[in-house]
Amino acid sequence: MTVRVRIAPSPTGDPHVGTAYMALYNLIFARHFQGKFILRIEDTDQKRSKPEYEENIFKALNWCGIHWDEGPDVGGEFGPYRQSERSDIYRKYCDILIEKGHAYRCFATAQELADMRQMRAKMGQKSGYDRRYRNLSEEELKARMDRKESFVVRLKVPLKGECVFQDEVKGRITTPWADVDDQVLLKSDGFPTYHLANVVDDYLMKISHVIRGDEWMSSTPKHILLYECFGWEPPKFVHMPLLFGTDGKKLSKRRNPTSIFFYRDSGYLPEAFLNFMSLMGFSMPDEKEIYSVDEIIKAFDVKRIGTSAAVFDVKKLDWLNQHYLINSISVDQLWPSIQNWGFNEDFMKKLMPLCHTRIKTFGEFIELCGFLFMNHLPLTEELLCPKSKPPELICAIIQTLIWHLEQNDDWSRDNFFNASKEVATLLEVNHKKVIMPVLFASLTGKHTGPPLFDSAVLLGKDRTRARLLKAMEFLGGLSNKKMQLLQKCWENKDFQKFINP
């Protein structure tokens, strides 16, 4: 059998460390078995997918030193490798399922579904779809089609029995069909859902092993059923342990820096980063922790993949990075490497206009701009809480600002400024006397510096977000209850309940 594996990221956000993790293991697997490693872009979510996110996936993985044999940017004989260019294929396969009686059209409107959910909740029934359109009569179906009613296509999931499959890491997995909903395969806009597109593509692209994170495990029964309905042999499944933070919670951008670019911009070495990622799911036979990708490719054995969650501990990454820094960069190479990272021409061209009129001597350059080249800012409560405002209010300001910036994922200078103004109004604090010092302190560790919003752009979105989160963490953060209250206030754009509880 020719081994063909793939990663299938969705370009709906910043390039996630989980994508690097999955890419690395797929690459290792492909190379170990002299197979092919494919990158497919799963951009079926029309609203959230953006070309720049796709570009960033390529950039981030290339920074890691991960390259693929087939993909939208490098081509290959099984293309197109971008799902938005394959819509006709999915519609065709969806029709086959309807014809064979494995799928059906469901005409439920959004309102109808909402009412149904409410009813089911009231009656103490399980949430989920009640299969009301599964057995429409020929006449009714025809009448609705003639009226051109909008519909989705759903998979007919067996009403009893169970799905059994073999996971290469976890062994035999059994799921009662009663726990699985009649999954939507084709949305009313004619675009496929993840499940249909993923299975059709894995089949057409001759994927032999699906190596993906544990979070997809609950989707696998639906996929197995789809293979069965089409009469195709399913690939082998390998579900990798999820990444957890040191707080014992799933890694999330709400709490941890999850963008690969954060690690690049903070000055980590790609070799150390990859070594670190590989430790997440695997242990070498000799328990060695420092090794090259070539070494793990040689030693790879699916039996050594872990079954429990992997802890993403930045301290470990720091330790590894220092090892690589000492051993793979000579003294002569150190300055060129640092220069290349942060003191390069491109960056300095952007920075100099901000410094020109703000230093009396060159000696003040680092005093002014050092924060751009630092990973640990000297934070104090005094700095972060101007006018002796309570830490809780400061955390609320920062959190609301993050939500504001995230709503359009627009961290540009102007939007940052406007957002900060709006947050001042919403939380009834002075922009100049409260918001600005809070932001200066969080991003620069000082109350003065080059223009704040330009500095944030130079820091980049990922380091900016990380610093805002760090400032909140330093102040003790918000309790779950307060966070929920704040979220409600943000949704209603009315913070009275938070300000005057």
145 or 204: CB nearest ligand GLU: 204
* Exposure on the CB side of residue 336, measured as CA atoms within 13 A: 5
Cβ atoms 175, 221 nearer than 8 A: yes
Q: Does residue number 209 form part of the binding site for ligand GLU (CB under 6 A)?
A: no
Site for ligand GLU in 127-166 (CB under 6 A): none
**9 lines the binding site for ligand GLU (CB under 6 A):** yes
Say how many C-beta atoms besides its own lie within 10 A of residue 236's C-beta.
17
Nearest distance from residue 216's CB to ligand GLU, in Å? Answer: 5
Which residue's CB is nearer to ligand GLU, number 46 or number 292?
46
Q: In angstroms, rounded to a whole number, what is the distance separating the alpha carbons of residues 149 and 169?
A: 45
Find the shortest distance in angstroms from Cβ 89 to ligand GLU: 17
**Contact residue for ligand GLU among 212, 253, 463, 465 (CB under 6 A):** 212
Which of the 8 DSSP states describes residue 250? B
- 198 sits near ligand GLU (criterion: CB under 6 A): yes
- Rounded to a whole number of angstroms, the minimum distance from the CB of residue 53 to ligand GLU is 11
Q: For residue 192, is the peptide bond before it cis, meaning its omega torsion is within 30 degrees of 0?
A: no
Binding region for ligand GLU (CB under 6 A) out of 6-14, 259-267, 326-334, 441-449: 6-14
Residues in Cβ contact with 268 at an 8 Å cutoff, skipping those fewer than 6 apart: 317, 321
Q: Does 13 bind ligand GLU (CB under 6 A)?
A: no
How many residues bind to ligand GLU according to rule CB under 6 A? 8
| Per CB under 6 A, 86 contacts ligand GLU | no
The two three-digit tokens of residue 233, written as one number: 């042999």
Query: Closest separation between CB of residue 240 and ligand GLU, Å?
Result: 10
Least distance from ligand GLU to the Cβ atom of residue 219, Å: 7
- Bridge partners, residue 210, by sequence: 237
Nearest-CA neighbor of 464 among 273, 262, 270, 254? Answer: 262
Q: Please confirm, yes or no, whether 433 is among the known catalytic residues.
A: no
Provide the 10 A C-beta neighbour count for residue 148: 7
54 binds ligand GLU (CB under 6 A): no
258 forms part of the interface with ligand GLU (CB under 6 A):
no
Measure the CA dihedral 66/70/73/79, to 10°: -150
- Considering the rule CB under 6 A, would residue 216 count as an interface residue with ligand GLU? yes
Q: How many CB atoms are closer than 10 A to CB 90? A: 22
Among candidate residues 156, 253, 461, 470, the one labeled active-site is: 253
Measuring CA to CA, how many Å separate 476 from each of 84, 93, 381, 405, 481?
A: 44, 53, 10, 22, 14
Whichever of 9 and 71 has its CB closer to ligand GLU, that residue is 9
Candidates 28, 39, 42, 93: give the one binding ligand GLU (CB under 6 A): 42
Neighbours of 19 (CB within 10 A): 24
Q: Say whether residue 293 binds ligand GLU (CB under 6 A).
A: no
Asked if residues 404 and 422 have their Cβ atoms less than 8 Å apart, the reply is yes
| Residues carrying an active site annotation | 253
Residues that bind ligand GLU (CB under 6 A): 8-10, 42, 194, 198, 212, 216
